[in-house]
Amino acid sequence: MQKCQRFLKMTCGKPEITVTGKSALRFLKIICMSAACLILLRGCSLGRERIEQVKAKRAEQVETKKVEQIEINQWEQSETDDITEKKESENTREEMLDLRDAFNGINGCAVLYRPLENKYFLYNKDMAEQEVSPYSTFKIISALIGLHNNIVKDETSTMSYNGTQYPDPEWNENLSLQKAFQTSCIWYFYQIINGVGKEEVKKELSELKYGNCDVSEWEGSMINPYKELNGFWLGSSLKISPYEQIEVLTKIFEGKTFYDTEDVETLKKIMLIQDNKEGKIYGKTGSSANGEAWFIGFTEIEQQREYFAIYLNDSLQGSQISSSVAKEIALKIIK
C-alpha cells in the first residue's frame, strides 16, 4: 500500500509541479517584458522632456542674446547721440535779445532755438538756466510716455470721469486725450502717469535728460484740494529750466529719441494751436497760483522748426500773471 502511494506521488505530482513552474516562468517573462517596455517608454519620455528642455534653454539663450544686442545697440546709439550732442553743443551759437518791450515790465525770460543754424536766442539768460517746476507743460511728456506705454492709443483715447465736481467745468466729463490736453485736465494725466508707473517714468525722463528727473514726490505737494489734481510735476520735486525745455522738445521733434514716429505725430496733433498760410504753431501752457507761467512749443514752416520757451515768474504782479499772458508774449516774439 505504501509503495502504491509513493508511486502515485512520483507519477501524479510531477506533472502538477511542472505545469505550475511553466506558468510561473511565463508570468515572469511577461513581467520582465512589461518592465522593459515601461523602462523604454520612460526613457523615451525623459528623452523628449530633455529635448524640450534643451530647446527651451536654447530659445531662452537666443532671446537673451537678442535682448542683450538690443541693449548694446541702445547703448551704442546713446553714446553716439551723446557724442553728437557734445559736438553740436561745442558748435552752438548764442545771441542775446532785448525783449523788454514784449515782456512789458513782467519778470521773465525767453529761449528760442533754430536747429538748422544750431543757434539759441536768449532773453534774461540767467533766469533761462534756472530749474523750476514745469507745471502743465509736463503734459507734453506725460502724453508721449502714455502713448509709448499703450496707456492711451491715440488722440481719441478716452478716460472715465469719476463724478467729482472739479473747479474747471470742462473736466467734469469723460475726456479724450486731445480734449484733456487742450483743457489741461490734471486728473486725466494723473491717470496716465500712474498707469505707467514710477520706475518707467523715471527711466524715460532720465533718457530724455528732462531737467533734474526727480519724481521722488510722486503724489506731489498737495497744492490742489484733490489727490488726483496733484503730482511731482506741479510745484513739487520735478524741475526743469527753460533752456532744458528747448533741448527736450528738440530731441523729441527732431527724431532724436526712442519714441515711435507715430506717437510723436499724435503728440503734434494735440499740441497744434494754429494752422494757417504763415505756418503752424504747436505748444502747451502751464502756470501756478503764485505768479509763474509757461508757454513752450515750436513753429513749423515747410518742415523747418523753431523752438521756443517763455517763462514768467513775477510774484509782485502775481494776479496778472497767467499762461495766457505767457502765450501772448510768445506769439509777439515768434511772429
Q: In this predicted model, what pLDDT tens digit does every residue of 17-36 receive, in sequence order?
A: 444 566 667 767 777 676 66
Residues 6 or more apart whose Cβ sits within 8 Å of residue 177: 143, 146, 152, 154, 155, 156, 157, 158, 188, 266, 270
Q: What is the pLDDT of residues 97-152, one digit of tens each?
A: 999 999 999 999 999 999 999 999 999 999 999 999 999 999 999 999 999 999 99
Q: What is the pLDDT of residues 142-191, one digit of tens each?
A: 999 999 999 999 999 999 999 999 999 999 999 999 999 999 999 999 99
Largest CA distance in the chain: 148
Q: What is the pLDDT of residues 293-333, one digit of tens each?
A: 999 999 999 889 999 999 999 988 878 899 999 999 999 99
Mean pLDDT over each residue of the chain, to the nearest integer:
86
pLDDT mean over 263-276: 97
What is the C-alpha separation between 255 and 329, in angstroms, rounded? 28
Q: Provide the whole-model pTM.
A: 0.76
pLDDT recorded at residue 38: 67
Fold that domain 94-334 belongs to in CATH: Beta-lactamase (3.40.710)
The highest-confidence range among 10-14, 69-73, 272-276, by mean pLDDT, is: 272-276
Q: Can you list the positions of beta strands (E) in 177-276?
A: 272-276
What is the C-alpha separation between 63 and 70, in angstroms, rounded? 10
